[in-house]
Amino acid sequence: MLEIGPGRGALTDLLLGGALRITAIEIDRDLCALLRSRYAENRLRLIEKDVLDVDFLDLAHEGPLVVAGNLPYNISKPVAMKLVHERRAVSRAVLMFQREVALRLTAEPGTGAYGPLTVLAGRAYRIERLFDLAPGAFQPSPKVVSTVTRWTPRASDDLPEYLVAPLKSVLRASFSRRRQTLQKNLRVALRGGEAEARSLLMAAGLDGALRAEMIPPEGFVALAALWSERPSG
C-alpha cells in the first residue's frame, strides 16, 4: 500500500486499519515529524520526498502497489503521467482530484474536457469517477469540489511501452490549436508539411478535417504507431 501525501494522517488511519504496513510519501518536513510521532515505524514507512522524485518501480519490489491519495491540483497531471510511465508497478489506485481534473481524465471524445491527458491515462488505465466530495468535507475547506477516482490497469497491449513517446508527440501536435483541424495541426509539426500530414492521416484511417477532440483514443494510437516509423532527421 502506497499513500501519496498523507498530510496529518486522516486517510492513513483508515488505510492502516486494512493493511499491516503502508508506505507514505510526504514532502512537508513538519508533517513528516508529526507522522513519525503518531505512527510506529514498523507500521508506517515514511519517505520524505517529492512524490515525483520517487521511483514506484523501486517500491514495488515485493509486489505491485495499491496507491491511494488526495492530490492537490498543481501535481495532478504530473502524478497521472507518472502512473502512466510506471504502470508496471501499480496493481490499482484510488485517487482524489479536483473535479475539473477528474472530468478531463474520464472525458468522452467530442467534449471540451477531452484531450491528451484523457487519451494517455485512459489507454493505460480504466478510470472511473466514483463520487464527489463537497468543500465542507475538508478542514480547511477548499474552494473546489473534489472527485474520487478508481484506476485499474489495462492490458499492456492497449498502450505498448514503445508507443508512449510517439503518442505523446502525436497528442501534443494534434491538440496544439484546439480550434484547428487535425490536418492543419499536423502539417505544422511535420517536416513534410501538408503532404506528410495527409499521408499519415490516410494510413491511420483518420479524417483530417476533424478537430482532435473528435478523434477516439484508438485513432491516436494508430497514428502514433505510424509516427514512430517515420524516418528520423
Give the residue among 217, 231, 102 at the shortest CA–CA distance from 170.
Answer: 217
Residues 129 and 166 in one domain: no
| Contact partners, residue 114, CB within 8 Å, separation at least 6 | 104, 107, 108, 213
Q: What is the pLDDT along the chain (233 residues), one digit of tens a residue?
A: 999 999 999 899 999 988 778 999 999 999 999 999 999 888 999 999 999 999 999 999 888 999 999 998 899 999 999 999 999 999 999 999 999 999 999 999 999 999 999 999 999 999 999 999 999 988 888 889 999 999 999 999 999 999 999 999 999 999 999 999 999 999 998 877 899 999 999 999 999 999 999 999 999 999 999 987 776 54
Say which DSSP state 65 is in: E
Identify the domain containing residue 190 by its residue range.
161-228
Q: Cell 488526495 appears where?
A: 70
Give the helix ranges, DSSP H, for 39-72: 56-59
- Cα dihedral 118, 122, 126, 132, rounded to 10, equals -10
Residues 110 and 178 in one domain: no
In the chain, the number of structural domains is 2
Phi-psi bin for 118: left (phi > 0), alpha (psi -120 to 50), beta?
A: alpha
Residues 168 and 81 in one domain: no
Is residue 233 in a domain? no
Q: Cell 495541426 appears where?
A: 185
- Give the DSSP H/E element, type plus range, for residue 15: helix 10-18
CA-based angle 176:152:88, to the nearest 5? 80
Identify the CATH number of the domain in which residue 110 sits. Answer: 3.40.50.150
Residues 40 and 98 in one domain: yes
